[in-house]
Amino acid sequence: MHRTAVAIALGFLVSVQLLIAQPEGRAAFDTFSAWKSAAPNAALGFGDALAAYRAKLKRDGLTDAAADRVMNLIAAYDEGKGYDKVYAGPPDFNTKPNQLLVDAVEGLAPGRALDVGMGQGRNALFLARRGWTVTGFDVSEEGLRQARERASTDGLKLTTILASDEEFDFGRERWDLIAIIYALEKRSIHKVRDALKPGGIVVVEAGHKEASNAPFEYASSELPEIFRGFQILRSEDTFGRYDWGPETIRLVRFVAQKPRR
């Protein structure tokens, strides 16, 4: 084969590999961004653009459930772009491992751990240092890059995955520990019961519903209800300094263990 043809073929192969490797949500976000940048959509504010794009998806034949999934993916990767900027600047958040998680794993034998919305990896790296086999996912490419860089510098093994909670495969009876620390969604929490191994631990810290009434915050009895049948090891409704600012807010802190067979 001619050298030029080989080069073209290799370039095509690389392009195909990159396309295959691209997460579904990233592709959905890029498609939406291209649509929004085209006239006359460019004049729309972000909220109006989302509504118009969902209507377009429906006209294109998607069901309500499929359209909602695409919109969730777009919102997640837009959030990721915002956190790329946050992580690229000087940190104005807690860069140390979350104290609830530190306390929860004290004395536990290391196993397989999942860090939901891992960000820069402060919690995942802590677990890896303690001997855990750690996987983390996030929609911030910059956060994941920094986590991998730190893991490499410290000689730690860490699996990082660019994905939203909609895309990530939690699996079934796969994890000995799942950490959900200040996740900006409440879908992952409902996947924990099946994803934990018997005897596995879930660790959750989040804002209380009365802190700001955000959709990813929890009412006082919500987590105990979600994990009904688990052994509750710690459940707090308290005021404290949260990891993403200097303020003291109302928090929920929750640790529970899945029943052993």
Nearest CA to 70 out of 24, 22, 139, 19 is that of 24
Q: 10 Å Cβ neighbour count for 147?
A: 28
Q: What pLDDT does residue 4 have? A: 40
Q: What are phi and psi of 138, to 5 degrees?
A: -165, 165
79: which DSSP letter? H
Q: What is the pLDDT of residue 7?
A: 37
* Banded pLDDT at 21 (limits 50, 70, 90): low
One domain, residues 232 and 104: yes
Q: Give which of 260, 121, 134, 120 is closest to 196, Cα–Cα.
A: 260
Maximum separation of any 2 CA atoms in the chain, in Å: 70
Same domain, 61 and 158: no
User: Is pLDDT above 80 for 166?
Assistant: yes
Report pLDDT for 141.
97
End-to-end CA gap in the chain: 61
Inter-CA distances, 220 with 100, 212, 224, 258, Å: 17, 14, 8, 20
What's the mean pLDDT in 20-43?
90
Q: Report how many domains make up the chain.
A: 2
Domain of 53 in residue numbering reads as 23-88
Residues 103 and 82 in one domain: no
Average pLDDT, the chain: 91
Share of the chain above pLDDT 90, in %: 87
Task: Using alpha carbons, select from 167, 159, 162 the residue that is nearest to residue 113.
Answer: 159
pLDDT higher than threshold 80 for residue 10: no
Mean pLDDT of 7-18: 34
pLDDT in tens, 219-258: 999 999 999 999 999 999 999 988 988 889 999 999 999 9
Q: Say if residue 112 is in the same domain as residue 191.
A: yes
* Mean pLDDT along residues 162-178: 97
pLDDT category at 136 given cuts 50, 70, 90 is very high
As a whole number of angstroms, the distance between CA 141 and CA 124 comes to 16
pLDDT of 147: 98
Q: Does residue 207 register a pLDDT over 70? A: yes
Same domain for 133 and 231, yes or no, is yes
Q: CA-CA distance, 196 to 191, in Å (whole number)?
A: 9
Whether 141 and 240 map to the same domain: the answer is yes
pLDDT digits (tens, 9 = 90+) for 63-74: 999 999 999 999
How far apart (Å, rounded) are the C-alpha atoms in residues 58 and 172?
Answer: 32
Between the alpha carbon of residue 24 and those of residues 44, 61, 71, the distances in Å are: 24, 18, 12
